[in-house]
Amino acid sequence: MKHLFIYEWKLLLRNRAMVTAWLLLPVIGLYALYYGESFTNTQLKTIHTIDTAYQARVQTQLNNFTADTSTKEGKTKYRNAHDPFQNEWQTRPMAWKQPAGLQAFSIGQSDNQPFYYSLWVYNNVYNVKQVELTNPDKLMAGNFDLAFVFIYLLPLLIIAFTYNIASTDVENGTAGLLSTQGISLHSILVGRLLFRAGLIVASISVLSIAGALLNNVQPGAAISWWLISLLYTAFWFGLAYLFVARKNTGAVTALQLVSVWVVLLIVVPSLLNSRQKTDDKAWLEVADAARDYSTQLRELSKARLADTLFQVEPTWKERFQQKRDTTTLRSVAYAYFAMQNMNRIGRRIDSAALAQQRRIERYQWVNPSFAIQLLYNKLAGTELSSFIAFRKALSDYQLQRTERLSLRRMAGESIDRATYAAYPVFVQPAPGLAASDWVWTAAALIIYVVVCALAGRYYWKRL
Amino acid sequence: MILSTIIRNEWRNLFRTGISGLLWGMLAILAVFTIWQAAAKTRDVQEKLQASQSYMRDKFTGQGEVNPHNAVHYGHYVFKPLNTLSVLDNGVNDYTGVSLYLEGHRQNEATFAPAQGSSSITRFGQLSLSLVLQILLPLFIIFTCHNAITKEREGQTLSLTVLQAVSMRRLVWGKVLAYTVLWTAFLTICLGILWLFTNGGAAPVSPVRLGGLWLLYTSYYFIVTAVCVLVSSVSKSSGNALLALLFGWLLCTVLLPKITANVGENAAPLLTRIELEERISTDKKNGIDGHNPSSERTQLFRDSLIKTYQVSSLDSLPVNLDGLLMQADEEYNNVVFDKHYGTIQQSIEQQRNATSISSWVNPFAFVRNLSMAMAGTDVYHHFDFTDKAEDYRRTIIKKMNDIQAYGGSKTGDWDWRVPADFWNKIDDFNYTTPAASFALQHNKMELAALAAWLLLVILLIQTGTNKLPVIK
């Protein structure tokens, strides 16, 4: 086997097309890493702008707690700092989805989802009217990230490396000569496959390590990424072995493998995608709930408003201060209850979207390319499920914050500097892979590799 | 040997092999399946949109007696109708919102794009008729035509054919036409089925647009077939021709579209939402703020009213100042919105230019853009919808402000209400897809590239094929 590898290495160096193809993968991969990093950097830049402005507002509010009240301006600042509602308005809290290091590897759906939100009490994370500016044409074309290179281009490189490894000897008339060398043709075939697999794995490893270093990826996440890539590589080498072992001409094998590529990368995922259904009407319910609630509240008297509030939140009655004006009651009711209402509808929609994602995941046995894309995205926190988890955590946080604020406003309580400084901050759920995500995809792909190996062996012996 | 004999001979050879019939069958099943599925989906979405539009219209007209400025804030929703030709090519529809919230003081964008609520499988594209016609059928053409000449050369029938006084040019023309007629027949059947499935729906298919699509795809198949036969004629073996063509197919349909879109994005990056909001906010600060009577421009506007109405004070105005201020605020803001949203649209058009330019080297690029355009599902049609919806927003907001100003209410009387039948007098939003010429106007480079490609392959066949060697 050692001699075979040395021979293959010499053959590789002599074949300019193969060397170019092999070197093309790291070059394209590096561009993909650059592209992914640029995308993430743009998001980080935006987050930095938001964070800087937000921290400045927080600092201003902290200073305003001790503003000089001998001047008119100072008095206003002092009053606004201690008034919980004014304070919230001046602070205009923001929260964002901090990109994980692996986002640069697999952008997933993160260019298609909002990544920062205003948590001002009248806004709602499920009813965002102003979304990030995007070019629909560009979204449709997709991203040239490392996941794309591995999922789409890597199999093509494997096909280019393997389609003629058995037929070339027959076509060149060297098959007979080789069989007299004391090593079976099958062993030569396997050796060649392993040699080429080694080349591909080397490229994958170099790219994964370079990307991980460039993007400060945690070692655990980087290793998981690498293992997923190996799994996918093994799957395609398994397929290549199966078709090469059928002993067709190189052109026919290439044709068959490209056809499999078309089916697995284009036909099956697009077929499953076209079976998806989105409920656009449900989102209108959220938007409608917001404005209808506002109209209904406008028609209610102070007494009715208070009664309505206490029916939903009986604990508020104890701290309710009778002198609160109708406008404040309306504002509290709108901020707190409209938010709950919108959250309820929004979460129902998200649950339906998650259920749909799970339904699609069930087809990973016939859709291995998407199964790998899912693993990559989940690991990078760029899948729909990651975004939904983020949005749910965010809406919980916003509701909690609004609840505190509403209670204070109902009770007519002011806020002090220490309480303001100790406000809980939003904690983003960490992306990652659950064991169940891994097990099924890994099982499916390993079974495929074993089946391909057995079937390939069978064809090789029979034909 | 006359041309028709060559064509008949090609057809006979093609259908003699079982594998070819199998591929044809698979392609036909895929095409019918995609049409059936997309037609059902389109009908469903059209019905939902229609229902949503009616529901929102009822809410708008049923507001009853309310203060017009409250109604300005309550706003209205309009919906982008789904073009029936989206059955063929859904274009960017999955990535653009379908509903638009119209309210006073601000211009919103269409929201709730279907792709946002989907897992990343949406990025693999949809199995649509456009995918079959643009990507899979050319692959089938490659499988079928890669050996059009090499097969004859390898079987040594090429020299026999040439001995019968058939020039290479005539042979290549015969093969190109034979296959092109087949693809065109397949295309015609697909479009006919599409017509049958969608006929009688909410929005009838435009025959001009459908005819344009037929011409586009026929030209595309002629180009792809000619390239395949030409590559076959210069290749040493069928295997070489196949590998070269497969590489070209992958480059054109998978790699280049993504690369050009990414290059376009880097060449003309879009503003972030925050940057846009800041710019709008800065420009608006210099305007009239209907909710802030103390601003300098508001003061100037008040003074101008006193002069116009020749009254001593604002209290003596025969109209409601609040309504006038709100409308002046709107008109100033509209100029600001036009400036900034115009810039965004320009950036998107610049980004798209990269794809348009790639049409000169990639036939898939022009067919993709022109197909979306003729189906009414490209980004320009989306802009047309949002522009018309914005015009409608301005119209209804002006009506509300005007009734507040001239409807008989007094300045500061925010409890004044319009009669309940006022809302019925405001026309509903009715969006109609622009004429086919609109699609062509925005794709001049793609049309030029299509013409250039047609010319190029015709020239190559006419001038280059007779010099090709019969034996290699």
Q: A112, B116: Cβ pair inside 8 Å?
A: yes
Tokens at B23, concatenated: 């591929």
- CA A165/CA A156 separation, integer angstroms: 15
Which residues of chain A are within 8 Å of residue B58 when distances are taken between CB atoms? none
pLDDT value of residue A47 = 94
- Residue A117 exposure: Cα atoms within 13 Å on the Cβ side: 26
pLDDT value of residue A280 = 63
- Give the type of residue at A270: S
Q: How many CB atoms lie under 10 A from the CB of residue A366?
A: 15
- Write the residue in B91, B126, B139 that is nearest to A270 by C-beta: B126
Chain A neighbours among B 35-54 (CB < 8 Å)? 37-38, 41, 45, 48-49, 51-52
Q: Does B345 touch chain A (CB under 8 A)?
A: no
Which residues of chain B are within 8 Å of residue A291 when distances are taken between CB atoms? 74-75
pLDDT value of residue B292 = 64
Dihedral angle of Cα B44, B48, B51, B52, to the nearest 10 degrees = -170
Of A371, A273, A157, A254, whose CA–CA distance to B131 is shortest? Answer: A273
Tens-digit pLDDT profile for residues A31-72: 999 999 999 999 999 999 999 999 999 999 999 999 999 999
- Give the type of residue at A313: E
pLDDT value of residue B287 = 67
Q: Got the DSSP string for A365-384?
A: GT-HHHHHHHHHHHHHT-SH
- CA A89/CA B467 separation, integer angstroms: 79
B377 three-class SS: coil
Residues paired with B76 in a beta bridge: B102
Q: How many CB atoms lie under 10 A from the CB of residue A41?
A: 14
Tokens at A433, concatenated: 């892979």
Q: How many CB atoms lie under 10 A from the CB of residue B153?
A: 22
Tokens at B282, concatenated: 């800065």
Q: Does B136 touch chain A (CB under 8 A)?
A: yes
pLDDT grade, residue B289 (50/70/90)?
low
The three state secondary structure string of B292-320 is: CCCCHHHHHHHHHHHHHHCCCCHHHCCCC
Q: How many CB atoms lie under 10 A from the CB of residue B316?
A: 10
Q: B95, A140: Cβ pair inside 8 Å?
A: yes
- Residue B111 exposure: Cα atoms within 13 Å on the Cβ side: 22
Would the pLDDT of B395 be above 70? Answer: yes
Average pLDDT over residues B216-232: 96
Of A368, A442, A426, A448, whose CA–CA distance to A94 is shortest? Answer: A426
Smallest CA–CA distance from A143 into chain B, residue = B258
Smallest CA–CA distance from A269 into chain B, residue = B124
Smallest CA–CA distance from B39 into chain A, residue = A274
Q: Which secondary structure element, helix H or strand E, spans residue A118, and what is its range?
A: strand A116-118
Average pLDDT over residues B354-379: 95
Which residues of chain B are within 8 Å of residue A31 when distances are taken between CB atoms? none
State how far Cα A313 lies from the chain centre.
Answer: 37
Q: A251, B119: Cβ pair inside 8 Å?
A: no
Smallest CA–CA distance from A381 into chain B, residue = B120
Would the pLDDT of B2 be above 80? Answer: no
Tokens at B412, concatenated: 């500061």
Of B206, B205, B198, whose CA–CA distance to B435 is shortest? Answer: B206
Tens-digit pLDDT profile for residues B74-116: 889 999 888 889 999 999 998 998 888 899 888 888 877 888 8
Would the pLDDT of B414 be above 90? Answer: no
Tokens at A128, concatenated: 């965002």
Helix axes A339-361, A368-380, angle to 10 degrees: 140
* Sign of the dihedral defined by the CA atoms of residues A38, A39, A42, A44, in that order: negative
Q: How many CB atoms lie under 10 A from the CB of residue B17?
A: 11
Averaged pLDDT score across all residues of chain A: 88
Tokens at B254, concatenated: 């998978």
Smallest CA–CA distance from A35 into chain B, residue = B262
Average pLDDT over residues B404-421: 87
Q: B242, A251: Cβ pair inside 8 Å?
A: yes
- Write the residue in A137, A139, A270 that is nearest to B124 by C-beta: A270
Smallest CA–CA distance from B346 into chain A, residue = A135
Would the pLDDT of B201 be above 70? Answer: no
- Percent of chain B at pLDDT > 90 equals 44
| Sole residue written with tokens 């007299």 | A180
Q: A357, B119: Cβ pair inside 8 Å?
A: yes
Q: Got the DSSP string for A130-145?
A: SPPP--HHHHHH----
Tens-digit pLDDT profile for residues B179-197: 999 999 999 999 999 888 8
pTM to 2 decimal places: 0.89
Average pLDDT over residues B13-39: 81
Tens-digit pLDDT profile for residues B251-266: 999 999 999 999 999 8
Q: Does B341 touch chain A (CB under 8 A)?
A: no
Dihedral angle of Cα B290, B294, B295, B297, to the nearest 10 degrees = 80
Q: Does B154 touch chain A (CB under 8 A)?
A: no
Q: A283, B99: Cβ pair inside 8 Å?
A: yes
Q: Got the DSSP string for B213-262?
A: HHHHHHHHHHHHHHHHHHHHHH-SSHHHHHHHHHHHHHIIIIIHHHHHHH
Give the mutation candidate from A137, A278, A295, A349 for the B interface (greatest B CB count, under 10 A).
Answer: A137
Q: Backbone dihedral region of A319: left (phi > 0), alpha (psi from -120 to 50 degrees) or beta?
A: alpha
Tell me whether 0.85 is exceeded by the ipTM. Answer: yes
Which residues of chain A are within 8 Å of residue B124 when distances are taken between CB atoms? 265-266, 269-270, 273, 369-370, 373
Angle at A424 between CA A423 and CA A427, to 5 degrees: 150
Q: B48, A265: Cβ pair inside 8 Å?
A: no
Chain A neighbours among B 273-302 (CB < 8 Å)? 273-274, 276-277
For residue B122, the 8-state DSSP code is G
Q: How many CB atoms lie under 10 A from the CB of residue A248?
A: 17
pLDDT beneath 50, residues of chain A: none
Size of interface A-B (CB pairs under 8 A): 209
| Sole residue written with tokens 């879009």 | B270
Please say whether the beta carbons of A385 and A378 come within 8 A: yes
Q: B108, A295: Cβ pair inside 8 Å?
A: no
- Percent of chain A at pLDDT > 90 equals 53
Q: A291, B75: Cβ pair inside 8 Å?
A: yes
B101 three-class SS: strand
pLDDT value of residue A9 = 86
- CA B382/CA B378 separation, integer angstroms: 7
